[in-house]
Structures are given as C-alpha cells and as structure tokens.
Chain A
Amino acid sequence: MRGLIGEDILTEEGEFIINMGPQHPSTHGVLHLKIWLDGETVKRIQPNLGYIHRSIEKMSESLSYRNFIFATSRMDYLAAHVNNEACALTVEKGLQLEVPQRAKVIRTILSELTRLQSHQLWWGCTGLDLGGVTPFFYAFREREAIMEIFEETCGARLTQNYMVPGGIMYDVHPNFQKRVKDVMIQIKGKFEEYDNIMTGNVILENRLKGVGYLSKEDALSYGVTGPTARASGLSCDLRKSNPYSAYDQVQFDEILDTGGDCYARYMVRMREMRQSVSIIEQLIDNIPEGDFQAKTKNVIKLPKGEFYQRVETPRGELGVFIVSDGAASPYRIKYRSPGFSNLSALPIMAKGGKIGDLVAIMATIDLVIPDIDR
C-alpha cells in the first residue's frame, strides 16, 4: 500500500505504524506510544518516555530534607498529599521521630480525601476516554468540593506540600471537620448517580468486559500495584499489610476482584471510593487534641544509612528510598513510582485488542505521566 507521496506506509511485515502522542487526547499527558497495527488490531506497543523528565531525583540530592518534599508534589500531581506523606514518613523513619497522634489522623484523612478526588478524576476521564463527556462534569462537581477543603486547609489545591517531617505544616482550619462531613454526605448521595450514568450502561460494559486482561502472575512479575493489581486478584494494599499513619486504627476492606480486565479495574476503583468515605467517616469525629507537629531541629540531618518507606497512593505503591551520608541533604534518592510499573504491563494488556481497547486500558490503569517520568 502506497501513501500519497509515494513512500510505502506499511512496514515489510504489512504493519501500519502510528505514533500516539506525545500530543494526544487520551494519553493524559506527554506519553508517546508507538503502535504497530494490523488494520485496527494492535500487534505491538512501545511506550516512549522522557518528554516530561525533570530529574526530580537528582535535583533532590542538592535540597535539604525539608525542601526535597516540595518536588514530589509535582510527581503524581493528583496525589500530592500522599507523595509528601511518603517522603515525610521516610525522613521520620530516619530520625526515629514519633509523630503526634493528631498529625497522624489528619494525614490519614487528607490521604483518603486525596484518593477520593483522584478516583473521581479518573472516573471522569475514563468516561471521557470512552467517548462520553458528561461523567467528567459529574465527577468534577464533587471533586471541586474536596479541592476546596484542600484549599482551605493548606492554601493550595494541587501541589499542597502540607505534610512535613514531624507532622503537618499548620493545624487544620476550624471549619475542617464540618466541611469534610458535609462533603462526605454529598458524595455518598452521588455514588448512585455515578452508577446510573456509567456503571450500568451496556455500552460501557461491552467496552470494558474482557478487555485488557492481566493475569495475577503477570501483575506480580511486572510489579503492578494498586487497584490495577487488586483487580487481578493480587492482594497488595499497603494500608492493610503495612499500616502507616492512622490506618491501623480504622476498619476497612481491601477491595479485590478476580476479573483482571478493564471492568474489574473499573469496579475496584468504584468500590474503593466507598471505602475511602468509610475511613474518613471513622476518623473525622475522632481527631485527637494535641500538637500537630513533633519538634524537629532547624536543619534536619539523617544518620548515615539507607531508609525506605512505601505508601499506597491512589495508583499503587510509592516507595521512597533515601541513602544518607549524614549530611543535611540526601546522598541519593530513588522513587519507586506506581505508574512506571503499571505502564510496563500495558504492552501485554493491549496486545491483540483494538485501538479503542488500548484507550480503555490506558484509562483504567490510570496513568499520570509526570509520575512515570520524573
């Protein structure tokens, strides 16, 4: 088959190559996928990264232990609180610092609010990727209420930088409890609406069921974590298995599904939102009085050694690995981001599907590109 300007547009094997991204509506950022197609069927995918590399890890080596946290808000920008928390927890681990109970509970509430708003954005974007624009606006209605809580609590909506080594930066706003309770009541009433417009839709079920299958073994061997892995039946919720902050004080279920397809991933996230609401409701009335921050020295210096802490972000397991040589800034930092490992499983999930399936798979593994490409 020849193109208009004469060159052969097919490869020698008869494949049709298209480049999806780095500017593409459904890659949610600057991800570049090189796709080998046979008609509409995807034969092979090669993800290319590097379009939004900011060298956050290298940059952190010249920042103090207070300042390097700020850069992590720019990694997974939908879960800035959780990223900050992961770094703060690692530094606290190095200092062997006991965080006040009040800070722990507030951290947990904010992390779960973060998870809720991240899943809501994911839900809206999934609708958008599958061609339905309306869910996006429904999702943003409730997400906006959560963003307003963030704004009132710490002045920022996206890059919060609120969790610091030792606790939280400032105490919460006096309205915090009331607003969170109001928002929880609002959101609980809207879950049914979400299900009505998307979950029960026969077109949506056809688009997602049996698409992008990821087996439990593959999920394990590719290091897939978070809702994506739990949808394949892999139990990996760090909030359950390695509780941090106040997760050991609350009752909640780890959502597991055995489907392994896009629909299972969709349902896991939908059910996780309900669990997050339940966690917040258990904690919001029980915020203990007391300090919101433990006393730390002005210049934090970690003892010589290696420190690792992992947390459960809305997308999976975020690990922070700090190597310290005893100085005021880390010797080496490595982040284990959930998106990178989840993306690595995309080629096996998308193989043999259609282009439309590829978009559905990318939507349901919930990629955030600045998290993959730090």
Chain B
Amino acid sequence: MRIFLSYSFSALATFIHSFLAGLISNGMFLLVTEMVITGVSLIVFLVLLCFFLGYMERRVAAFMEIRLGPNRVGPQGTLQIVADTVKLLFKEGLTPDSSDKFLFNLAPFIMVVASMLVVAPIAFAKDFQLYDINIGVLYVSAVSSISVIGILMAGWSSNNKYSLLGAMRSGAQIVSYELSVGLSLISIVILSGSLSLGDIVKSQENGWWIIKGHIPIIISFVIFVIASTAEINRAPFDLAEADQELTGGFHTEYAGMKFAMFLLSEYINLFVVSAIAATLFLGGWMPFHIGGLVSFNHIMDYIPSSLWFFGKTFLVIFIIMWFRWTFPRLRVDQLLTLEWKYLLPISMVNVIFVTVMAIMGWHL
C-alpha cells in the first residue's frame, strides 16, 4: 500500500481503500483494482488538463496576436476544444498503404504512454503524490526520453520522406538537449541531497531553490526551461514538425485520433516539464516562505498547496507558450550549436559552481 501512503486526501483514500477491502478479499486483486482506479483517474485528469492547455494556448496565442481566439462555443469559447476533439474522433484514422502498419499505429500510443508515465512522481499538493519513488529525478529524465522512440517510429513507419527527415531531426535534437536538462536537474540534486521529488520539495521549506541557490541556480533554471522546450519539440525548437519546411514532420501522415494522440502527448509533456521546473526550482507545492518571518509564513500557508503548485506550473507554461508565439524557429545546425557549444559547457561549469556552493554551504 505504498502508493497510498502519501496521499493528501488521506481520509478519502483510506475510505476508498477500506470500502474496496470490504468488497474484495483477495489482497492481490485489491491492489490491482486500486491501481486501475488510480490510473483511470490520472488519465481522465490529464486529458481534462490537456483540454485546458489547448484552450489556454489558443487564448494566449490570440492575446499575443491581437485577435480574440475561440469565444463562441460555450462560455468564453471553453467548449471549442471539446468540439475539436469530437471532430478528430469522427475523422478517419488513415493508415497509408505502404507504411509499416503495426509500428505506424503503435507510435502514437508510445508517445502518450511515455508522457503519462512521467506524471507518477510529481507532487501535486502537500502529501498528494501518486508514487514518491526514491529516485524520482532519475526516473523523470529516463522515462521522458522514451518519447523519442515514438517519434522515430512514427517518422520511419510512415514511409514518407518528410516524416523521415522530421524524425531524424528530432532524434538528434532530443538526445542532445537531454544532457542540458539532466545537468540542470543535477544541480538541484546536489543542493537538496536527494533524488526524491518529495524530499526536494521539503528541502525548500525555508525558501525556494531559485532564491536560495543564487545565480548558479537561476542559470540552471533558464537552461532547464530552454532545453526542456527543445526536448518537448515546441517552437522555437519545433524542428521535428517544422510545418513550413517539412509540412508536419514526423506526423505528416497521421490523421484523426492518431494525430490527436500526438497533440495530447505534446500537451502532457508541456505540463510535465513545467511541473518539474516548478517542483525543482520554484518550490513545488511549498508556499512562499522567508526564513524568520513567522507571521508572514503563516499567512502564506493559508493558501492551499495545490494552488501554489498549479500557479507556479502555469507560470512556466505561460513562459513556454510566450516563446512559441514570439520567436522564429531555429535552423537545425543552429539548434545543435546552441546545445553543444553554449548550453552544455555553461551547464557543466555551472554544476561545478553549484557543487562548490553546496560544499561551502553558501546557499541559505
């Protein structure tokens, strides 16, 4: 029952657990049932979240582009994305004749599964975590790189030259930028001394790392945001899709719900990297505390922890959306130059600074 140990709504969780235990006597079967319930509610939550992110993206884009955005279907256009989903569901999911049909149909699922798996160790609120795995940071960086397999699979199996070029680009891009993402994550691990996301949040009780960690952590944060934008294939690093160059890149041949799966995984990835950035650098669900000011800290504690978490996450999401709607796209060689000649050396030097800082105890 380790899964349920750290639930915030522990009363509710205990109630559901004892209710199910009354119905099902077999311990193994009970565990499986509870896992299925957790999984289904997670999927529903993520899909609803993606609806919201899709809506938010359109409104943010409209705000940047001096236009209105969706505002007809439902109050303030909130149901537009539902209408679009229904449209995608009814469209024919075409499979090209000369494609590798098995891999072609498998690729979107790998993408979605890979991005959904990363959600597991994220702490959404105080004591609200699916599974506080003790190597959380390692798990996140390992599982998030599975998505490149989905992209390569989609690009290769489509048997389309544009798709293949897109997949090639994406392979080079994701593998390169993972290094910078990893190094920025490591700087936090050095300071907090733990790989578990729960412990990392707890280590920020008297101040978030971005404040406590001085300039090196601010550099790590900036590098993390840039590199993870590249890792999730969003503009200005959306070279794998690059609709003006490759007409859609690796998902050129996909239509209907299979295409929607790629979209879904893109938005889940967007949420996940923002949540990781919020957890590691901005304190996760931890309220804004200043060491010593007891009364101020108490007032901050009155704001629910989930609100803190989602507020920070959506701040990062907004920044990443801001990139997309104001920057032109990089060229493929410039993309790799940025990583290998600028971000990676800076992160490496930065890790040394952070280590020195941690040893000397210069952080607050």
Task: Tell me the A residues contacting B by CB distance below 8 Å.
Answer: 3-5, 9, 16-18, 24-26, 40, 127-134, 136-138, 141, 197-198, 201, 203-204, 206-207, 354-357, 359
Smallest Cβ-Cβ distance to A208: which chain B residue: B328
Residues of B within 8 A of A207 (CB): 328-331, 334
Interface residues of B in 325-361 (CB under 8 A from A): 325-334
B65 near A134 with CB under 8 A, answer: yes
Given A137-B67, A355-B245, is A18 in contact with B332 using a C-beta cutoff of 8 Å? no
Residues of B within 8 A of A133 (CB): 61, 65, 325
**A101 vs B100: C-alpha distance in the bound complex, in angstroms?**
70
Smallest Cβ-Cβ distance to B169: which chain A residue: A40
Q: How far is the CB of B229 from chain A (nearest CB, A)?
A: 13
Residues of A within 8 A of B165 (CB): 18, 40, 355
B332 near A4 with CB under 8 A, answer: no
A131 near B247 with CB under 8 A, answer: no
B54-70 vs A, CB cutoff 8 Å, 1 = contact: the mask equals 00000001001111000
Q: Is B98 part of the contact surface with A, judged by Cβ < 8 Å?
A: yes
Q: Which 10 A-B pairs have the closest CB atoms?
A: A131-B329, A130-B328, A137-B65, A132-B328, A356-B331, A26-B244, A4-B159, A5-B98, A18-B161, A131-B328
Contact with B330, one of A137, A141, A203 (Cβ below 8 angstroms): A203
**A45 vs B245: C-alpha distance in the bound complex, in angstroms?**
15
Smallest Cβ-Cβ distance to A198: which chain B residue: B328
Contact with B235, one of A131, A138, A141 (Cβ below 8 angstroms): A131
Using a Cβ–Cβ cut-off of 8 Å, how many residues does chain B contribute to the interface with A? 35
A16 near B161 with CB under 8 A, answer: yes
Residues of A within 8 A of B98 (CB): 4-5
Residues of A within 8 A of B156 (CB): 4
Contact with B244, one of A18, A130, A141, A198 (Cβ below 8 angstroms): A130
Given A4-B100, A4-B159, is A128 in contact with B326 using a C-beta cutoff of 8 Å? no
A4 near B99 with CB under 8 A, answer: yes
B167-195 vs A, CB cutoff 8 Å, 1 = contact: the mask equals 00100000000000000000000000000
Given A355-B246, A356-B331, is A137 in contact with B162 using a C-beta cutoff of 8 Å? no
Q: Is B269 part of the contact surface with A, judged by Cβ < 8 Å?
A: no
Q: Is B198 part of the contact surface with A, judged by Cβ < 8 Å?
A: no
Given A24-B247, A25-B243, is A132 in contact with B161 using a C-beta cutoff of 8 Å? no
**A194 vs B246: C-alpha distance in the bound complex, in angstroms?**
27
Smallest Cβ-Cβ distance to A360: which chain B residue: B331
**A110 vs B119: C-alpha distance in the bound complex, in angstroms?**
59
A3 near B159 with CB under 8 A, answer: yes
